[in-house]
Structure 1
């Protein structure tokens, strides 16, 4: 009788424990379902905008449009032909060297502007912030048209200078066109990167600056020991975004040939321009799709290498 009573006392405790575990599992399932419901619209949109086009491009890259026989399956022949295409590698090399020169100049300029604005030694910092960022808000097509008119030798600034001084300056010769495009891209995106760096600097605790001042550190030492280390992680992100952006350069070489003569811009001046011409002028959608996928893989590989190297340097320091 005593043993039965002890069992009766234990049973409600066991049942209560099982009930709590069941409710905890049910609560977790409910939270998971709510989370999935919230991310479902983004997941659907991401699949439709990114995943499906990539799959379709991969499908197109396995076919070739022919005058006789129509669209024919050729397997990986487009990729084999692409890797032997000198025009493709010429465009990749041009964009690579453009990125190697333009990205450091743009980011150094953006960091210098962010440091200047954060120094609190300038007047009208709000106006300057907006003014520097404003070019990023200008559409790329409008920006290209503006710079084309301004730098053109027929009716632009350089044309007026040549007429006044009797010179023959031309920023759109085959040897200088890429430099002019670099000026356009730098003007457009410096403000965006500056805003990223400036936001990071504003998040640095002011107590660090006060401690450095008490230790007798000058402005240069504060920049070197506090501000630049704080910018390392954001600099990696800016480099990755800049590499992706410059590898995709398209608007400038597409629009400039119609505005300036003898610019040296060919149909394969950049990989994106080459893919566009192949798809919409040459009716080679399969070959253009293969080119786009290979360029995406190259861009991802370069960006990933920069990210891994940059993060390793950050953690090592």
Structure 2
């Protein structure tokens, strides 16, 4: 049996196929974080960023009146350059309000932070009773809106309705007028002090609770008492929190508005330009000069920014060196 073989030509080699580059597949749900951030970003742009840009734009504009100011086209908005800023910085009412608020801050901020630190250290002590009740009681005034607290203290200041004045009269101490020109600054500072100590205390107290207890035990083994532990261990460690609360208090001081504007109808010693923001309010809603008010607002914002970052640059090496 013979077997025949047929010679076949070799088939040409198939061309190599180059597979296309595969793009990395996006994981399902990768865009979810952007969806959560989007509402906050939209609100930030609409109600914060755009109003700020619009205020800056208005600060470089003014209204030019032609003729008697009557008829269509007599009031035209034109470019003002730096005129609004020059007028704002040379306004004696605005300069006086700035100096008044500086004195107000010198009185308020050290007192408020000192009391907040004292209360936080007392609550963090080893032997303290009713810690939870005391913490809530100190913090509770912060939850009261500034307008309500100003009205409350305002009626406590009025001699005709104040129970404090009634007690002083019964004791033969007379009827002090706390809203007179000599004491009105301290009366306003007392309202801010009553509401601000609790917030700063909670910030400092939270920082104290984060300190390891091993440091306290080691200090007690070395013979340190509670006062030495508080001054030499607790205060230096919570110094960054003190700086944070100082910056918050400084910003709130520069923006004081609710307390004096609420007390103003109760006394004649508080002018309509008592604080810088009250001067902005007067220009915008009393004089109907939104361009000058915009310039004043930009000046206050820049001053707040410069003071905050300048203070941080001044103390960052000393205060935050332990975090490196």
- TM-score bin, normalised by smaller chain: 0.7 to 0.9
Residue 149 of structure 2 aligns to a residue whose secondary structure is: helix
Between 1:70-79 and 1:268-277, the stretch displaced more is 70-79
1:3 aligns with none
Q: 1:314 to 1:168 in 2, by over 3 A?
A: same
Residue 274 of structure 2 aligns to a residue whose secondary structure is: coil
1:7 aligns with none
2:220 aligns with 213
Shift, 1:153, TM fit: 1.4
User: What is the aligned counterpart of 1:226 among 208, 212, 233?
Assistant: 233
1:124 aligns with 130
| Counterpart mapping for 1:252-263 below 5 A | 252-259=259-266, 261-262=267-268
Aligned residues: 298
- Maintained 8 Å contact 1:65/1:284: no
Distance 2:76 2:131 in 1: 59
Shift, 1:76, TM fit: 2.2
User: What is the aligned counterpart of 2:37 among 26, 36, 39?
Assistant: 39
User: What is the aligned counterpart of 1:295 among 297, 300, 303?
Assistant: 300
2:91 aligns with 85
Shift, 1:160, TM fit: 1.6
Distance 1:161 1:224 in 2: 39
1:305 aligns with 310
- Maintained 8 Å contact 1:66/1:72: yes
Distance 1:99 1:312 in 2: 25
- Maintained 8 Å contact 1:181/1:252: yes
Between 1:54-63 and 1:101-110, the stretch displaced more is 54-63
- Alignment TM-score, normalising by the size of structure 1: 0.87
Shift, 1:311, TM fit: 1.3
Shift, 1:161, TM fit: 4.0
- Alignment TM-score, normalising by the size of structure 2: 0.85
Shift, 1:218, TM fit: 1.2
Q: Where in structure 1 are there 5+ consecutive unaligned residues?
A: 1-10
- Maintained 8 Å contact 2:64/2:77: yes
| Counterpart mapping for 1:140-219 below 5 A | 140-161=146-167, 163-164=169-170, 165=172, 167-219=174-226
Residue 64 of structure 1 aligns to a residue whose secondary structure is: strand
- Maintained 8 Å contact 1:150/1:158: yes
Structure with a larger share of its residues in helix: 1
Structure with the greater alpha carbon radius of gyration = 2
- Maintained 8 Å contact 2:56/2:298: yes
Shift, 1:310, TM fit: 2.1
- Maintained 8 Å contact 2:240/2:320: no
Distance 2:246 2:186 in 1: 20
Question: After the TM superposition, which parts of structure 1 deviate over 6 Å for at least 4 consecutive aligned residues?
Answer: none
Q: 1:189 to 1:64 in 2, by over 3 A?
A: same
**Structure 1 residues 56-105: Cα deviation after superposition (integer angstroms, max 9, x where no partner):** 11122223346623252223211111111111111111111211221111
User: What is the aligned counterpart of 1:133 among 139, 143, 146?
Assistant: 139
Distance 1:96 1:242 in 2: 12
Q: Where in structure 2 are there 5+ consecutive unaligned residues?
A: 1-15
Shift, 1:228, TM fit: 0.7
Residue 266 of structure 1 aligns to a residue whose secondary structure is: coil
Give me the CA root mean square deviation.
2.4
2:319 aligns with 314
